[in-house]
């Protein structure tokens, strides 16, 4: 097995992990603070991707597209929160699941009407379209490296926000005891809307960055949403640290599994069976990981609530 | 128990629905619209799936968002056994295939039920938001698993060349198949009603009302929830077997998570915690989809907000509205 | 019969920097009423929760009926005869009063993997349920949904549900909470009827009730027992006066 190949796949895994972290960080806060299960979070990712793709096409600049996606997703997110989600906070989780399920159907159809059913393709920005030799002889796509870099920056910024600012303190307090925060006289509704906007912006950012890598199409949010759920379950609800660890774990396990499991299995099985079993197992690998962690820690690795 | 009083509104509604169901095929034939029989069969089958979800959702309070996985498992059980029976090979080199309904339909229930037992054993160790996400994730896992099974069609699905064989009945005839589906549904609704009124059913209801108190009075709630989950999964598997027969086709799309969402919608739309309600919910949803899709190809735009409104304002569901709240 | 029915030894529970239970020990003898009093926030409910099995102590042990139960969960302890009523009413709001009690009867009538007979028509459950309801003073109110009962009736039902599990020891967490004067008198009468038949660990603020019922009183302040003994002794204890009773 080629060491460079392994390194490349590890980086791919980190890149996937970063995208998942952007989605999971916002969502885990929303779960933890507002106790709201929101299936439509993937739709915000989709909005980010579509806005970025459209603006990039119109202006020819990926950066402009990215910069447009962030506020667009945040605004859409906050609008949805104020209009549709506020009534759901007091409701049962079942009601929240069904209502946000309805939101997904609505958003998907809306996007289909506005942009059409075909997928849009985004080009990797010229400046980042080459490769970088991280180790001599090992070229790696610059764009993917940029995503990893962006993720590290966001993670650092989030850490500063949550650990060092007043707003962050309110967020942490809200994640571990939401009634207390209200009792302390904080304008909880405003806090909720802001947290939602933050989560939406992060999701939009992930969508904009994913645009050049995957096709921008209706329904792109749902697949990654479920992966995000797995990340949050593994990491623990309400914990950004958990989201980071979970995202990196899921990203690495999924990527490395798909890349190397069939090869590993060939050591003990004939190639045809190994490929078949390998394909099946690797598509299930992160769920098996989730199950294993749940057996030991039913509330995830770093749950915010005790 | 006195049965000579004035009939309850509930009994009138149910008997009326049963009568309507019995008369549907001759009516459809008279109107020269055999399509209605096929649509009605689909309603009955999904009604069964929705009723099985109601057992754990409406009565047990377990918000399982992966129920379609058990439907799909049952469907694939029938499909895989059929394919092996057809070409004479053995499943995993051990089990002979078959298309005998008396063998494969119970097998579908057994397989789906066992799957539910395993998934439930892990998922039920959690609760709340975790449980919802985990059941969703496991269902997605199964979806990907079947997509990866090239031997059985993968993403394209698996075709059955005919329906299951049942002694004395020609299931290939749509009308016969319809009555079989109706019979199965009625049988399971009856058994289900007995179940939810039994001691076991009361435990599930108690868990939904106040699980903490149930534990405080001495119930080891986990095992009862797990049993309920497995039973619901097995019945969902049966509905999957029927779907596989109905369309003579199974594909991973059967267990896509949006299907789980649709089944849940049927339960809420029809009336949660009633067992009969979900069947009405299935009828309403499937008919709505039929009608809306002829008006506009963007019917989802309507369905989405409609769903939200129902959730927020439609407390008792269609069945609750029909029987005036007397759903016990 | 010298061995106490319940023995909690050196229980400790910390929530972050807060020590809720500080090496607390107490015991309850068969048939006695042992009252637990103390200011708000003293850790009484936390202590009950640890004895009932809802919270796991950081240190210490609990023994019941001669066996160690520290590792057992709530349901297992309930099956051994340790029943609990809650400070904040915790009933099956959608069930009738009779169904509430029948549920508790069913919990102690073997396993519930019975799928056929209608539980609501089962005399083995209904009969005992009605008896307990009568004992709790709720005859005539059997069919009312628990959520619709008056607050006082709900508190009576709280006790009834715990009682229906045929316990050896009742953990009563502020049974008088929110009761008016007449209802309080009724509740004290109910609990006196149970005196001697069932041991009780009674957490209460209502001092009239405490002195009317208790055989022994323990005073808890900041998670520690500062005094324990007969009611008359506690009444006159200077430390207790300072900490809690004030002008009693």
Instruction: Evaluate whether C100 touches B216 at the Cβ level (below 8 Å).
Output: no
Instruction: Evaluate whether A5 touches A242 at the Cβ level (below 8 Å).
Output: no
pLDDT for residue C245? 60
Residue C246 has pLDDT above 70, yes or no: no
pLDDT for residue B54? 97
| Partner residue opposite B298 with nearest CB, options A107, A109, A291 | A109
Instruction: Evaluate whether C51 touches C83 at the Cβ level (below 8 Å).
Output: no
Rounded to the nearest angstrom, the minimum Cα separation between B190 and chain C is: 11
Cβ of C75 and B201 within 8 Å?
A: no
Rounded to the nearest angstrom, the minimum Cα separation between C162 and chain B is: 7
| φ/ψ of residue B210, rounded to 5 | -165, 85
Cβ of B224 and C112 within 8 Å?
A: yes
Rounded to the nearest angstrom, the minimum Cα separation between B2 and chain A is: 38
Residues in chain B: 328
C-alpha span between B63 and B47 (Å, rounded): 18
Closest chain C residue by Cα to residue B190: C116
| H-helix or E-strand spanning residue C218 | strand C216-221
Q: Tell me which of B92, B308, B315 to substitute to probe the interface with A (most A C-beta atoms closer than 10 Å).
A: B308
Could you tell me which of C50, C208, A228 has the C-alpha nearest to residue B137? A228
Gyration radius from chain A CA atoms: 20
Instruction: Evaluate whether C225 touches C218 at the Cβ level (below 8 Å).
Output: yes
Residue A110 has pLDDT above 70, yes or no: yes
Could you tell me which of A64, A24, A14 has the C-alpha nearest to residue A211? A64
Residue A116 has pLDDT above 60, yes or no: yes
C-alpha span between C245 and C42 (Å, rounded): 14
Rounded to the nearest angstrom, the minimum Cα separation between A175 and chain B is: 14
| H-helix or E-strand spanning residue B125 | none
Residue B325 has pLDDT above 90, yes or no: no
What ipTM was estimated for this complex?
0.93
Q: A touches which chains (3+ CB pairs under 8 A)?
A: B
Residues of C within 8 A of B216 (CB-CB) are 52, 54, 74-75, 78, 83-84, 86, 90
pLDDT digits (tens, 9 = 90+) for A63-81: 888 899 999 999 999 999 9
pLDDT digits (tens, 9 = 90+) for A155-175: 899 888 888 888 788 777 776
Q: Supply the angle between the helices B221-247 and B174-197 in degrees, to the nearest 10.
A: 170
**Cα–chain-centroid distance for residue C206?**
15
pTM, 2 dp: 0.92
B311 to each of A88, A154, B68, B278, how far by Cα in Å? 10, 37, 20, 14
Residues of B within 8 A of A112 (CB-CB) are 298
DSSP C198: B
| Partner residue opposite A101 with nearest CB, options B57, B145, B261 | B261
pLDDT for residue C6? 94
Question: Chain B contact for A292, CB < 8 A?
Answer: no
The alpha carbon dihedral of B106, B107, B111, B112 has a sign of: negative
Least reliable range by pLDDT among A258-267, B83-92, B222-231 = B83-92
Cβ of B312 and A230 within 8 Å?
A: no
| φ/ψ of residue A4, rounded to 5 | -65, -35
pLDDT digits (tens, 9 = 90+) for B262-291: 999 999 989 999 999 999 999 999 998 888
C-alpha span between A120 and A123 (Å, rounded): 10
Residues of A within 8 A of B57 (CB-CB) are 94
Instruction: Evaluate whether B37 touches B24 at the Cβ level (below 8 Å).
Output: yes
C-alpha span between B48 and B181 (Å, rounded): 9
Q: Could you give the percent of chain C with pLDDT greater than 70?
A: 97
Residues of B within 8 A of A276 (CB-CB) are 148, 150-151
Instruction: Evaluate whether C136 touches C156 at the Cβ level (below 8 Å).
Output: yes
Residues of B within 8 A of A103 (CB-CB) are 304, 308
B78 to each of A273, A276, B91, B99, how far by Cα in Å? 24, 22, 12, 8
| Partner residue opposite B141 with nearest CB, options A104, A284, A298 | A284
Burial of C242 (0-12, 13-18, 19+ CB in 10 A): exposed
Instruction: Evaluate whether A139 touches A79 at the Cβ level (below 8 Å).
Output: no
Rounded to the nearest angstrom, the minimum Cα separation between B163 and chain A is: 28
Q: The tokens of A276 are what?
A: 């078949």
> Average pLDDT, whole number, for chain B?
90
pLDDT for residue A5? 84
| Partner residue opposite B305 with nearest CB, options A31, A102, A280 | A102
In a 13 Å sphere around the CA of B251, the CA atoms on its Cβ side amount to 8
Closest chain B residue by Cα to residue A290: B134
Instruction: Evaluate whether A257 touches A277 at the Cβ level (below 8 Å).
Output: no
**Cα–chain-centroid distance for residue B176?**
20
Tell me the residue ranges of DSSP E strands in chain B.
90-91, 95-96, 158-159, 249-250
Gyration radius from chain C CA atoms: 18
Closest chain B residue by Cα to residue C90: B213
Cβ of B200 and C107 within 8 Å?
A: no
C-alpha span between C24 and C201 (Å, rounded): 14
Q: The tokens of A288 are what?
A: 């098996």
Arithmetic mean of pLDDT, C223-246 = 82
Cβ of C74 and B215 within 8 Å?
A: yes
pLDDT for residue A305? 66
pLDDT for residue B328? 59
Residues of A within 8 A of B298 (CB-CB) are 109, 112-113
Closest chain B residue by Cα to residue A105: B304
Rounded to the nearest angstrom, the minimum Cα separation between A133 and chain B is: 34
| φ/ψ of residue A178, rounded to 5 | -70, -30
pLDDT for residue C91? 96
Q: B touches which chains (3+ CB pairs under 8 A)?
A: A, C
> Which residues in B have their CB inside 8 Å of a CB on A?
57, 63, 65, 122-123, 125-126, 128-130, 132-134, 136-138, 140-141, 144-145, 147-151, 257-258, 261, 264-265, 268, 298, 300-301, 303-308, 311-312
Cβ of C73 and B215 within 8 Å?
A: yes
Residues of B within 8 A of C92 (CB-CB) are 206, 209-210, 213
Rounded to the nearest angstrom, the minimum Cα separation between B260 and chain A is: 11
Cβ of B209 and C114 within 8 Å?
A: no
Instruction: Evaluate whether B263 touches B134 at the Cβ level (below 8 Å).
Output: no
Arithmetic mean of pLDDT, B6-24 = 89
C-alpha span between A81 and A84 (Å, rounded): 6
DSSP C229: E
pLDDT for residue A173? 75
Closest chain A residue by Cα to residue B264: A98
Cβ of C116 and B194 within 8 Å?
A: yes
Closest chain A residue by Cα to residue B301: A106
Cβ of B203 and C116 within 8 Å?
A: no
Q: Could you give the percent of chain B with pLDDT greater than 70?
A: 97
Cβ of C83 and B217 within 8 Å?
A: yes
| H-helix or E-strand spanning residue A53 | helix A41-59
- Residue C247: which pLDDT band, with cuts at 50, 70 and 90? very low
Which residues lie closer than 8 Å to A225 by C-beta, 6 or more apart?
A23, A39, A41, A42, A45
| Partner residue opposite A98 with nearest CB, options B133, B134, B268 | B268
Least reliable range by pLDDT among A43-57, A132-146, C166-180 = A132-146
Burial of B24 (0-12, 13-18, 19+ CB in 10 A): buried
Residues of C within 8 A of B209 (CB-CB) are 92-95
Residues of C within 8 A of B210 (CB-CB) are 90-93
pLDDT digits (tens, 9 = 90+) for C124-146: 999 999 999 999 999 999 999 99
The alpha-helical segments, DSSP class H, found in C94-150 are 97-107, 123-135
In a 13 Å sphere around the CA of B79, the CA atoms on its Cβ side amount to 28
Residue C248 has pLDDT above 60, yes or no: no
C-alpha span between A274 and A266 (Å, rounded): 5
Residue A109 has pLDDT above 90, yes or no: no
pLDDT for residue A1? 54
Residue B315 has pLDDT above 80, yes or no: no
Other C-beta atoms closer than 10 Å to the C-beta of B320 total: 20
Residue C2 has pLDDT above 80, yes or no: no
Cβ of A299 and B130 within 8 Å?
A: yes
């Amino acid at each position: 097995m080629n060491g460079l190949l392994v390194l490349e796949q590890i980086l791919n895994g980190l890149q996937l992990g970063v995208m998942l972290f952007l989605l999971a960080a916002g969502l885990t806060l929303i779960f933890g603070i507002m106790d709201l299960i929101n299936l439509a979070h993937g739709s915000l990712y989709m909005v980010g991707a579509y806005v970025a793709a459209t603006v990039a096409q119109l202006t020819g600049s990926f950066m402009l597209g990215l910069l447009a996606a962030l506020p667009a997703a945040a605004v859409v997110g906050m609008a949805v929160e104020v209009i549709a989600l506020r009534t759901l906070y007091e409701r049962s989780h079942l009601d929240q699941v069904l209502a946000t399920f309805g939101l997904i159907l609505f958003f998907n159809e809306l996007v289909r009407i506005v942009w059409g059913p075909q997928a849009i393709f985004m080009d990797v920005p010229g400046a980042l379209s080459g490769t970088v030799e991280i180790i001599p002889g090992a070229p790696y796509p610059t764009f993917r490296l940029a995503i990893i870099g962006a993720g590290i920056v966001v993670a650092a910024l989030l850490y500063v926000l949550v650990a060092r600012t007043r707003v962050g303190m309110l967020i942490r307090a809200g994640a571990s005891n939401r009634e207390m925060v209200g009792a302390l006289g904080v304008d909880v509704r405003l806090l909720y809307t802001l947290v939602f906007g933050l989560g939406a912006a992060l999701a939009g950012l992930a969508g904009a960055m994913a645009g050049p890598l995957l096709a921008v199409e209706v329904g792109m949010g749902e697949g990654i949403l479920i992966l995000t759920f797995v990340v949050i379950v593994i990491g623990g609800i309400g914990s950004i640290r958990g989201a980071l660890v979970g995202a990196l774990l899921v990203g690495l396990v999924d990527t490395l599994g798909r890349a190397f499991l069939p090869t590993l299995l060939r050591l003990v099985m004939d190639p045809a069976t190994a490929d078949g079993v390998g394909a099946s197992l690797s598509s299930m690998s992160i769920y098996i990981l989730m199950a294993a962690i749940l057996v030991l820690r039913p509330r995830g690795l770093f749950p915010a609530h005790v | 128990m006195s049965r000579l009083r004035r009939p309850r509104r509930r009994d009138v509604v149910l008997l009326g629905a049963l009568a309507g169901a019995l008369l549907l095929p001759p009516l459809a034939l008279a109107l020269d619209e055999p399509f209605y029989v096929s649509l009605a069969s689909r309603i009955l089958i999904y009604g069964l799936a929705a009723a099985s979800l109601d057992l754990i959702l409406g009565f047990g309070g377990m918000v399982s968002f992966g129920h379609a996985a058990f439907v799909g498992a049952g469907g694939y059980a029938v499909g895989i056994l059929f394919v092996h029976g057809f070409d004479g090979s053995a499943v995993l080199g051990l089990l002979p295939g078959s298309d005998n309904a008396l063998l494969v339909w119970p097998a579908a229930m057994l397989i789906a039920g066992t799957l539910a037992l395993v998934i439930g054993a892990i998922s039920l160790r959690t609760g709340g938001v975790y449980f919802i996400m985990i059941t969703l994730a496991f269902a997605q896992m199964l979806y990907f698993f079947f997509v990866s099974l090239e031997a059985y069609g993968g993403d394209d699905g698996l075709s059955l060349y005919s329906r299951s064989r049942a002694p004395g009945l020609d299931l290939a005839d749509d009308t016969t198949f319809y009555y079989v589906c109706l019979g199965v549904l009625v049988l399971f609704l009856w058994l289900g009603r007995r179940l939810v009124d039994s001691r076991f059913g009361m435990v599930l209801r108690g868990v939904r009302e106040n699980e903490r108190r149930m534990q405080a009075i001495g119930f080891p709630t986990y095992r009862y929830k797990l049993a309920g989950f497995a039973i619901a999964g097995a019945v969902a598997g049966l509905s999957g077997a029927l779907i596989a027969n109905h369309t003579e086709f199974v594909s991973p799309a059967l267990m896509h998570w949006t299907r789980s969402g649709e089944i849940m919608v049927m339960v809420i739309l029809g009336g949660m915690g009633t067992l009969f309600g979900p069947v009405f919910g299935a009828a309403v949803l499937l008919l709505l989809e039929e009608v809306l899709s002829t008006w506009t190809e963007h019917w989802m735009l309507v369905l989405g907000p409609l769903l939200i409104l129902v959730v927020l304002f439609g407390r008792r569901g269609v069945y609750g509205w029909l029987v005036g709240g007397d759903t016990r | 019969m010298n061995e106490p029915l319940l023995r909690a030894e050196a229980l400790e529970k910390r929530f972050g920097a807060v020590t809720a239970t500080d090496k607390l020990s107490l015991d309850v003898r068969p048939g006695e009423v042992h009252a637990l009093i103390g200011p708000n926030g003293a850790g009484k409910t936390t202590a009950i929760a640890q004895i009932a099995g809802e919270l796991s102590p950081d240190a210490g042990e609990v023994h019941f009926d001669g066996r160690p139960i520290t590792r057992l969960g709530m349901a297992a302890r309930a099956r051994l005869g340790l029943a609990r009523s809650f400070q904040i009413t915790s009933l099956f709001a959608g069930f009738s009063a009779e169904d509430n009690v029948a549920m508790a009867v069913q919990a102690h009538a073997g396993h519930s993997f019975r799928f056929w007979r209608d539980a609501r028509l089962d005399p083995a459950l209904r009969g005992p349920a009605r008896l307990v309801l009568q004992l709790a003073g709720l005859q005539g109110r059997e069919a009312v949904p628990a959520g619709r009962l008056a607050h006082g009736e709900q508190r009576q039902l709280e006790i009834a549900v715990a009682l229906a599990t045929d316990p050896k020891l009742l953990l009563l967490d502020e049974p008088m909470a929110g009761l008016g004067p007449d209802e309080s008198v009724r509740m004290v009468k109910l609990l006196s009827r149970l005196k001697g038949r069932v041991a009780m660990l009674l957490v209460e603020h209502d001092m009239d009730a405490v002195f009317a019922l208790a055989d022994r009183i323990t005073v808890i302040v900041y998670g520690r027992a500062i005094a324990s003994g007969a009611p008359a002794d506690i009444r006159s204890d200077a430390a207790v006066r300072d900490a809690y009773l004030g002008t009693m």
